[in-house]
Structure 1
Amino acid sequence: MQSENFFDRDLSWLSFNGRVLEEAGNNSVPLLERIKFLSIYSSNLDEFYRVRMPAVMALEKIHQKGADEQAASAKTAILQEITRIINEQQERFGAIFTTEIIPLLKENSIHLLYNEPIPESIREEVSDYFYTQVMAFLQPVYLSISGIKFFPENNKLYLLTVIGGVRGFNELVVINIPSDNLPRFYTVKRDNEQYVVFLDDIIKDNLSAIFKHSVIKGCYSFKITRDAELEVEDDYEGDLARKIEDQLTKRDFGLATRLLHEPGLEDGHLQLLVMALKLQHASIIQGGCYHNLKDLGSFPVKEAAMSYEKWPAIAVKAGDGSLSLFEEVEKKDIILHPPYHSYGMVLRFFNEAAVDPAVTEIYVTLYRIASDSRIGNALVSAAHNGKKVSVLVELKARFDEANNIRWAKKMKAAGVKIIYSAPSLKVHAKIALVKRKKEKRISYVGLLATGNMNETTARFYTDHILFTGHPEILREMELLFIFLGHRKKAGNPGLINFKQILVAQFNLQQRFLQLIDREIANAREGKEAVITIKMNNLEEKVLINKLYEASQAGVKIRMIVRSICCLKPGVPGLSENITVKRIVDRYLEHGRIFVFHNNGAAELYMGSADWMNRNIYRRIEVCFPVYDEAIKEQLLQLLQLQLDDNGQAVTIDQQLNNVPLPKDGKVVYSQQAIYNVLAGKQV
């Protein structure tokens, strides 16, 4: 297929982040939640510059040096389009923040001071805070001093101050904004009014205390974003944890990809800053007065009236309490849908495993571990209680490496067998297996999920967690854990003959292609043929091409793709039978569900795998069938509510636009509707 049949993955991701920004501008969203969406947008964009921009810039340079002028031109055009979109989004961000959010806060007696003087009524208290708390963390660096060794770290905040030096010429001084040590916002209450002051402005307002004998001619905020990639050799055989720890110490000192600075900085001073800090290869971008607005996620105002209505997590019971959870699961599968459902049953699964005398072995994969993980503590207790505990900790989970290493060390010290994946292969599967022996009978109970075993993210990621006693599924899970314990690359797909679970590197892609082919055959025979897929990201071209083939054969394909989508829907002769929706709401849509109509005998799979190149070719992923008819029926009901969503969902058109759906008749907000269904309320 030609490249014009696919959206560029980075442009598609920017389209998703633009959809997040739209929620910040949505006046039907509660005010404090709109501020959170600004924070999410900002955090996402920072990660884009750390993770994707280095790759985009490198590809452009490679093609510029190569002989393929057409490819070089295409890469340059994409980089230019990325820059244009980001600039437009940043302007929209600033407009939402300054012309909508700040005035609405003021209407509620909350004064967020944005590029304005600190009022005299609170200046004394703010100044006292500067002298007693802030000043201890300030470290001015004079760039004019020869031999100065200063390396601005990734995404840390700085002020470039221009002062009139005693020697008769201007000097440039960099001052750190210590937002890692202190809150980004300082609040003062006066009567019924609340003032919120940026830490940046507290420092700016007190510069005379730092430069007592100089004239301050200007002060401009800036930050630098650096490449976040870690370099771990594919064939590295030493202490992988130590290797990654060494790399983590270097991450914040990687190649600069962006210099973001406040408006008003003179070109001459900007060029001096670029040369002094060796930023010649970074993108130089003029931003707003304040950077790292992901810090808005910790905005220090908590008012229920300006926030989403609380949806208490729904407790799910397993039986009447007379049996253990494992005994209940051996009788019947159980499904959880967090965050609508309480995460308590997952914690109970691991807690019971730690103390149940019948439990002899526990196996689990951990991709992103909560910082204060109850699951991690249960596994430590299980080891102390004499259980054989094997945990595969993924050390290469981006931005969670340090926390995962900390937990791996803690569990290993308790006697847990810690397994690390091979350097070139991430284990992204979300599975756990408990082996029990009672009266000479050995039984297994398993947990298979679409999201991480992380009780923190479970509060705002929508996922699905299946507890099952299905013997064939659990036997295959045990074989996979045995394989992972040897830390080998998957290599030969026939190494293990998986028939129940779908495992990337073994049979996952092949099985999905077969399932699509079956729908194609049914369509050609005049039978009803439908594929319904929900996932986070869609990039891998072999599977996309197969979906195009299915569309051309008459298969109806309904997709819900949260962020990256390289498939172009609705193109005549290519994908006219494919629709793609995107849902952005209070929770982050994270579950992956795959439904194949199968001439009325639907097959439904869930799992950890998006259809990205990394998931298909460079990770161990697990998708699994759902056999319990009641659970399958419930999943199909929830999926239908999302397909019917016309309140928060948009469709993606052939130009990557987020197109709102018509709200004629009944308006469906799927997350609200799902909560109501699971809570037993009438929809």
Structure 2
Amino acid sequence: NLRQALQGELPQRQFGLAVRLEVASNCPAHLAQMLLHQFELQEADLYRCDGPVNLARMSALVDEADLDEHKYPVFVQGSPARLKEQPDVLAVMRQRDILLHHPYQTFDPVVDFIRKAVDDPDVLAIKQTVYRTGVNSVLMEALVEAARRGKEVTVVVELLARFDEEANINWAERLEQAGAQVVYGVFGLKTHAKLALLIRRERDAAGKTLLQSYAHLGTGNYHPRTTRMYTDFGLLTTHPEICSDVSEVFLHITSLAKANRLKRLWLAPFTMHRHLLDAIRRETRHAKEGKRAHIIAKMNALVEEAVIDALYAASSAGVKIDLIVRGACALRPGVAGLSDNIRVRSILGRFLEHHRVWYFDNDGNDDVYLASADWMGRNLFRRIEVAFPILDRELKARVVDEGLKPYLADNHDAWELASDGSYHRLAPKGRAHALAAQQELLHRLADATARGR
């Protein structure tokens, strides 16, 4: 029993073996050696840091300091115009897909979507994945209440979400006590996909009863706190093929049955890596044929070797490649004869850049995917991950205009990666104006009526 095993191990976490020792750069040698000895570490495990050793502790000073001019201004999250006119999120979804861009836009529509499982008597079932959700979560409370009211509630809880194990165990227990079916994912694979599926009883124009599916797919966690701090996209949709694919993914996770061939979603660790390589190689082929060829991808990390090799081959064929990689990047841009056409940048600003956005020109078809996965081996081979297409033409343009273009134009919070592996911060040239992508998106999407409060 994985849950019982974890409950037994968690109290021992603070007594685990040390893996590294961080000390201030001016720490006396004899003190560093004494600590290494006490923690049974080697000299190679010692890291001397310039500045505070634990930067997380610095955040407490911000709350204590009465220096408002040095703090980010308060903002109120915006909301899609259609949801202001029609507060029933399901009614709006039946008309058209809804794209949410957090933290600039509120997470409330997703909360309302889940609450439908509680309040709407025609909602029969709801399924959701949970990776990180926090100790206090209105979403989880809604799922518990839905189960209590007799709805069919299935929750895939990832117990091995690092540092969230205890919270997830507690939620799993509460859900089971309320009557929900709790599944701990697929053995050997972390469930990292962000999915929710709602099944509702409705009637068609002829009065015949049917079951209508509503789905939410996201790049970020169902966590009320991080939706105000991380940049993420979420899609609320009734698209039949996407909803059918989401249902198949849940069937695979909860029953271990082999998923049928998916029509729209890329699913790791089964098809995502292959589809990704195919998309890159298609751009390579188009470039060789003299057609348009362009790849823009935003992610947290890029280290998977086969993907990097495919990008190098695409660059050599003439494909223009723009990468926005917040963290680790094993690819080297701008190397003559290898990666001349690749540019890599990282954006470090007020919010943690978290959404994964993949754009492939595809000879003018503009294929756009959002995903829960980075281009890393662990995501592509050792986790349940989902990449999903944006099919609505207007929403596709929004993803590019909000999730890619501002970051490529940023000259304030952007750091560019050089061919030697070093980063340098960009700055406006000449009389050019400074442009910070996050500030620009706040201006576009946050609630303008509340700005400056």
TM over 0.5: yes
Residue 410 of structure 2 aligns with an amino acid whose one-letter code is D
Q: 2:253 aligns with which of 447, 462, 484?
A: 484
Which consecutive residues of structure 1, in runs of 5 or more, have no partner in the other structure?
1-238
Q: 1:657 aligns with which of 404, 422, 425?
A: 422
User: Would you say the 8 A contact 2:123–2:199 is kept in 1?
Assistant: yes
User: Would you say the 8 A contact 2:215–2:237 is kept in 1?
Assistant: yes
Of all paired residues, the percent bearing the same amino acid is 36
Q: 1:589 aligns with which of 335, 338, 353?
A: 353
CA deviation profile, 1:568-594 (whole Å, cap 9, x unmatched): 111111111110011000001101111
CA distance in structure 2 between the partners assigned to 1:627 and 1:273 by the alignment: 56
SS of the residue corresponding to residue 521 of structure 1 reads helix
User: Would you say the 8 A contact 1:257–1:281 is kept in 2?
Assistant: no
User: Would you say the 8 A contact 1:256–1:281 is kept in 2?
Assistant: no
Per-residue deviation, 1:256: 1.9
Per-residue deviation, 1:316: 2.6
CA deviation profile, 1:518-564 (whole Å, cap 9, x unmatched): 21121111111101101111011111111111111111111100001
Matched, 1:424 2:193: no
Per-residue deviation, 1:292: 3.5
Larger radius of gyration: 1
Residue 40 of structure 2 aligns with an amino acid whose one-letter code is L
For 2:413, the equivalent position in structure 1 comes to 648
For 2:99, the equivalent position in structure 1 comes to 335
SS of the residue corresponding to residue 419 of structure 2 reads coil
Q: Residue 471 and residue 274 in structure 1: after superposition, are their counterparts in 2 closer, same or farther (change >3 A)? A: closer
SS of the residue corresponding to residue 19 of structure 2 reads strand
CA distance in structure 1 between the partners assigned to 2:92 and 2:332 by the alignment: 45
Per-residue deviation, 1:477: 0.7
Residue 576 of structure 1 aligns with an amino acid whose one-letter code is D
SS of the residue corresponding to residue 482 of structure 1 reads helix
Q: 1:452-531 maps to which residues of 2 (within 5 A)?
A: 452-487=221-256, 495-531=259-295
Matched, 1:539 2:303: yes
Equivalenced residue count is 436
User: Would you say the 8 A contact 1:528–1:599 is kept in 2?
Assistant: yes
CA deviation profile, 1:412-437 (whole Å, cap 9, x unmatched): 11111110023411010011000001
CA deviation profile, 1:95-148 (whole Å, cap 9, x unmatched): xxxxxxxxxxxxxxxxxxxxxxxxxxxxxxxxxxxxxxxxxxxxxxxxxxxxxx
CA deviation profile, 1:260-300 (whole Å, cap 9, x unmatched): 55757583x7766665x352547355668975442111222
Residue 162 of structure 2 aligns with an amino acid whose one-letter code is R
CA distance in structure 2 between the partners assigned to 1:481 and 1:285 by the alignment: 44
For 1:368, the equivalent position in structure 2 comes to 132
SS of the residue corresponding to residue 15 of structure 2 reads coil
For 2:214, the equivalent position in structure 1 comes to 445
CA distance in structure 2 between the partners assigned to 1:261 and 1:549 by the alignment: 43
Residue 453 of structure 1 aligns with an amino acid whose one-letter code is Y
Q: 2:199 aligns with which of 435, 450, 454?
A: 435
Residue 330 of structure 1 aligns with an amino acid whose one-letter code is R
CA distance in structure 1 between the partners assigned to 2:51 and 2:361 by the alignment: 53
Residue 124 of structure 2 aligns with an amino acid whose one-letter code is T
User: Would you say the 8 A contact 1:496–1:506 is kept in 2?
Assistant: no
User: Would you say the 8 A contact 2:18–2:41 is kept in 1?
Assistant: no
Identify the structure with bigger relative contact order (alpha carbons < 8 Å, sequence gap 6+).
2
Residue 668 of structure 1 aligns with an amino acid whose one-letter code is L
SS of the residue corresponding to residue 363 of structure 2 reads helix
Per-residue deviation, 1:486: 2.1
Residue 458 of structure 1 aligns with an amino acid whose one-letter code is T
Matched, 1:566 2:335: no
Q: Residue 511 and residue 291 in structure 1: after superposition, are their counterparts in 2 closer, same or farther (change >3 A)? A: closer
Q: 2:398 aligns with which of 628, 634, 637?
A: 634
Matched, 1:247 2:16: no
Which consecutive residues of structure 2, in runs of 5 or more, have no partner in the other structure?
204-208, 449-453
Q: 2:340 aligns with which of 561, 569, 576?
A: 576
For 1:666, the equivalent position in structure 2 comes to 433
TM-score w.r.t. the length of structure 2 is 0.91
Q: Residue 290 and residue 446 in structure 1: after superposition, are their counterparts in 2 closer, same or farther (change >3 A)? A: closer
CA deviation profile, 1:63-96 (whole Å, cap 9, x unmatched): xxxxxxxxxxxxxxxxxxxxxxxxxxxxxxxxxx
SS of the residue corresponding to residue 464 of structure 1 reads strand
CA deviation profile, 1:145-190 (whole Å, cap 9, x unmatched): xxxxxxxxxxxxxxxxxxxxxxxxxxxxxxxxxxxxxxxxxxxxxx
Per-residue deviation, 1:346: 1.2
User: Would you say the 8 A contact 1:604–1:626 is kept in 2?
Assistant: yes
User: Would you say the 8 A contact 2:155–2:181 is kept in 1?
Assistant: yes
SS of the residue corresponding to residue 215 of structure 2 reads strand
User: Would you say the 8 A contact 1:432–1:446 is kept in 2?
Assistant: yes
Residue 436 of structure 2 aligns with an amino acid whose one-letter code is Y
CA distance in structure 1 between the partners assigned to 2:14 and 2:152 by the alignment: 38
Matched, 1:359 2:123: yes
Q: Residue 264 and residue 443 in structure 1: after superposition, are their counterparts in 2 closer, same or farther (change >3 A)? A: closer
For 2:73, the equivalent position in structure 1 comes to 309
SS of the residue corresponding to residue 463 of structure 1 reads strand
CA distance in structure 2 between the partners assigned to 1:375 and 1:554 by the alignment: 47
TM-score w.r.t. the length of structure 1 is 0.61
Q: 1:76-91 maps to which residues of 2 (within 5 A)?
A: none
For 1:279, the equivalent position in structure 2 comes to 40
CA distance in structure 1 between the partners assigned to 2:271 and 2:36 by the alignment: 50
